[in-house]
Structure 1
Amino acid sequence: MSNNEEIVISDIKDSTAAFEEALSRTGDVKYVLRLYVVGMGPKSVQAVDNIKHICEEYLPGRYQLEVVDIYQYPVFATDGQIVAAPTLIKELPLPLRKLIGSMADTERVLVGMDLKSKTDKQ
């Protein structure tokens, strides 16, 4: 592993720890999300746009989203146990959830992030 990868891993852990600390002070339910993509091809761009739109609509000011390009940082694919991309991981609030795909199905994403139950109607 190169020094650059170590710095990036450390930065992500530090930013998540700072976010968790801020969360504990405010008492608000905040979401820590990590979206793994491969390069910035059409599928990756679509997944990023879709999840940003969902977060802004349903979690304004209550989320931290990191986009990780596993093409540039393959160590993250191993560390995050990523078998397909795009993959969204909801780290907080617990329980941890993984969603695979373009994030185009808003209902599926909301259910996967525990923002909506499967039985909720719009």
Structure 2
Amino acid sequence: MEDTGEIWELRLYIAGKTAKSVAALENLKKYCEEYLKDKYVIEVIDLLVHPQLAEGDQILAIPTLVKKVPEPIRKIIGDLSNKEKVLVGLNIRPAKKPE
């Protein structure tokens, strides 16, 4: 992955501490540590606490991950357990591992 020095801003919308919400956050942290180490910020928004914030990013389902920066803005719905779908959705290209 090319290093642009840009910090990735990720926003995860959840509704309480459901199994899916917890899994989504754990999966997201794992991928970020693996592919974006020290280059990401995760903001978790609990819509049970702040329901008005769903409108800004047009959240229709939860959990939903929104990639704000770098653009383009992308959304991924679900518990983020499908690593390949998440990486493609976030436009993260894994660095080739040396053989």
Q: TM-score range by the shorter chain?
A: 0.7 to 0.9
Name structure 2 gaps, 5 residues minimum.
Answer: none
Partner-residue secondary structure (3-state), 1:61: coil
CA RMSD of aligned residues (A): 1.8
Match of residue 33 from structure 1:
10
Who wins on radius of gyration, i.e. which is larger?
1
Higher relative contact order (CA 8 A, sep 6+): 2
Q: How does 1:62-81 map to 2 (within 5 A)?
A: 62-81=39-58
Query: Deviation per CA, 1:63-108, whole angstroms, max 9, x where unpaired?
Result: 0100100111000112221000000000000100000011001111
Partner-residue secondary structure (3-state), 1:90: strand
Is residue 98 from structure 1 mapped to residue 66 from structure 2 by the alignment? no
Percent of aligned positions that are identical: 44
Runs of 4+ in 1 over 2 A off after TM superposition: none
The count of aligned residue pairs is 93
**Cα distance in 1 between the residues matched to 2:36 and 2:9:** 11
- Report the CA distance between 1:116 and its aligned residue: 2.6
- Report the CA distance between 1:29 and its aligned residue: 2.3
Is residue 109 from structure 1 mapped to residue 86 from structure 2 by the alignment? yes
**Cα distance in 2 between the residues matched to 1:96 and 1:38:** 22
**Cα distance in 2 between the residues matched to 1:107 and 1:116:** 10
